[in-house]
Amino acid sequence: MQRLATICVGNPEDVPKVRSRLIELGLWLNELGGSSMSAFEVSGVSGRINVQDIREIPGISEVLTQRDITPLLSKLSGKPVRLMESCTLGSDLPPVLFAGPCSVESEGMLDEIGAAVATAGGKFLRGGAYKPRTSPYSFHGVGEKGLHWLRAVAEKYKLGVVTEVLSEDDVAVVGAYADLIQVGSRNMQNFALLKKVGALGKSVLLKRGMASNLEEWKLGAEHLLFDGAKDVVFCERGIRGFTETTRNLLDLQAVADLSLAQGFPVMVDPSHASGRRDLILPMTMASLASGAHAIMVEVHPCPAKAKSDGPQALGLSELVELGAAMGCLSS
């Protein structure tokens, strides 16, 4: 699918017929040239146009499209992404809830959380066993045993596992435990890591770099697909802003553009976007209204005692309220 095309009409007498047909196809037109006008620039109202439909209009001599810099990703446009038997992301499907702790701390806390995720109607358990931390003095995760606990708890509550891989050295072990491999914001353009993750042939959750534009983000996804990833789900987690009242700025326009206009699978992480548990519910609703297919949130049985990101973690009952607000409880 292309977003813009230039259409040349061979004979100026055909211009009125071509114009009406383009309007019938629901396209926005910009008529190029002067009185001898015989070209149009068109764009889809929803951001997408079907070039084949245009080529079939009698009188058109040429259709020039933008060069597609993400050909593998473009092929996935409009297609639902099946992550597990019970979990598919797509535009006509109910929104999906992913939840779990920021860091996996112990098997016991994960079990409490897994039960709450299932009660809330969530489909995936999240949690970091390997944690990227700004300070070298912060908690960096429990490592491989955390992956083992994630798998065991997810099996118990019939959930999928999404967890972050930080290092090229850990790609194989994370791939062995996770249903969806998370590449974090700080690694969105770590091309050596993307290459190894792609080669696993699994579905990948690609979080947006905190200062990356959409083209860079899509090219990160193209790297993963080029190297063999099965699917890529985009995760908007906020970009660097100037306000100190929230951790980041949630870019809902990027969500709407990638999801509604371009047809790609999009998740929103309002926890890392806002850094505040009181904003999770309103930002979830705004994200769903903007076309998000899934929401991923952090949760902890006792947020005040969390080893990382406590201020943004929901309590267990708040998670169930979020699941209810998203309409997940009965699905």
Residues near Mn ion, by CB under 5 A: 102, 309
C-beta separation of 269 from 294 below 8 A: no
Residue whose CB is less far from Mn ion, 202 or 307: 307
102 touches ligand PEP (CB under 6 A): yes
- Angle between helical axes of 214-226 and 191-198 (0-180°, round to 10): 40
Q: Give dist(CA 299, CA 291) in Å, integer.
A: 23
Q: Give dist(CA 305, CA 137) in Å, integer.
A: 17
Shortest distance (Å) from residue 309 CB to Mn ion = 4
Q: Give dist(CA 219, CA 129) in Å, integer.
A: 27
Shortest distance (Å) from residue 56 CB to Mn ion = 50
128 touches ligand PEP (CB under 6 A): yes
Q: Which stretch binds ligand PEP (CB under 6 A): 8-16, 116-124, 168-176, 184-192?
A: 184-192
C-beta separation of 46 from 261 below 8 A: yes
C-beta separation of 106 from 87 below 8 A: no
Shortest distance (Å) from residue 230 CB to Mn ion = 26
105 touches ligand PEP (CB under 6 A): no
Residues in the chain: 331
101 touches ligand PEP (CB under 6 A): no
Residue whose CB is less far from ligand PEP, 1 or 239: 239
Alpha helices in the chain (DSSP H): 15-24, 51-55, 71-75, 107-119, 144-156, 171-177, 191-198, 214-226, 252-256, 270-274, 280-289, 316-325
Q: Give dist(CA 304, CA 310) in Å, integer.
A: 6
Shortest distance (Å) from residue 102 CB to ligand PEP = 6
Shortest distance (Å) from residue 135 CB to ligand PEP = 14
Shortest distance (Å) from residue 210 CB to ligand PEP = 7
184 touches ligand PEP (CB under 6 A): yes
Shortest distance (Å) from residue 95 CB to Mn ion = 21
300: partner contacted, choices ligand PEP, Mn ion, none (Cβ within 5-8 A by kind) = none
Terminal Cα-to-Cα distance of the chain (whole angstroms): 32
Count residues contacting ligand PEP (CB under 6 A)? Answer: 11
Which helix (DSSP H) or strand (DSSP E) does residue 54 occupy?
Answer: helix 51-55
Residue whose CB is less far from Mn ion, 102 or 233: 102
310 touches ligand PEP (CB under 6 A): no
Residue whose CB is less far from Mn ion, 73 or 306: 306
Q: Which of residues 209-238 bind ligand PEP (CB under 6 A)?
A: 237
C-beta separation of 188 from 164 below 8 A: no
Name the burial class of residue 208, with classes exposed (0-12), middle (13-18) and buried (19+) by CB atoms within 10 angstroms of its CB: buried
Residues near ligand PEP, by CB under 6 A: 102, 128, 132, 164, 184-186, 207, 237, 269, 272
